[in-house]
Amino acid sequence: MEITECKLIDLPKIQDPRGNLSFIEGGKHIPFAVERTYWIYDVPGGQTRGGHAYTNLHECIIALSGSFDVVINNGKETKTISLNRSYYGLYVPPMIWRSLENFSTNSLCLILSSAPYSEDLYIRKYDDFLKQTSGI
Ligand code: TYD
């Protein structure tokens, strides 16, 4: 998987003096239908979440509040994307190793996912990921 397949998506933003509003429609603003949503919160300083890849799962990662870094790796290249606006979504396709780091206090990470939770979709060992990306 090319790392350039991970794309920052500029989500709709309705600006209003009463407060802004953003939204997502599955299959329209993000390139997959949403089957599951989960969120990560109350992350203690210095902790890292993620640290795995998915075989066949697409996701969109949003910093609804605060900020954090998404470190993505395709077995060859690594890139760090800082998310700190609730109207940006980071699209991550299958077969990208990703971890979430550097969470600010009170940050809230929303993840939209193309599949229900299943441990079968995870690659949890980086060595296994490297083997699969190099085709060995
Ligand atoms: P995991 O995806 O490993 O978290 P992270 O990658 O952020 O460190 O999930 C942690 C635990 O939560 C794991 O035991 C599975 C469970 N879980 C669910 O039951 N449903 C879900 O939708 C998710 C994402 C995790």
Tell the residue number behind the tokens 């997959």, with chain if given: 32
Position 135 scores a pLDDT of 72
pTM of the model: 0.97
Domain range for 74: 3-134
User: Are 103 and 23 contacting, i.e. CB atoms less than 8 angstroms apart?
Assistant: no
Mean pLDDT, rounded, of the chain: 96
Check if 13 has its Cβ closer than 6 Å to any atom of ligand 1. no
- Ligand 1 atom with the smallest distance to the CA of 117 is 22
Structural domain count, the chain: 1
117 CB within 6 A, ligand 1: yes
What is the C-alpha separation between 84 and 68, in angstroms, rounded?
A: 7
Residue 39 CB burial class (10 angstroms; 0-12, 13-18, ≥19): exposed
- Domain of 55: which CATH number? 2.60.120.10
- What does DSSP assign to residue 69? E
Q: What percent of the chain has pLDDT over 70?
A: 99
Number of the ligand 1 atom closest to the C-alpha atom of 119 = 15
Please write the tens of the pLDDT for every residue from 67-76.
999 999 999 9
**Given a cut of 80, is residue 136 above it in pLDDT?**
no
Q: Is 78 exposed, middle or buried (0-12, 13-18, 19+ CB in 10 A)?
A: exposed
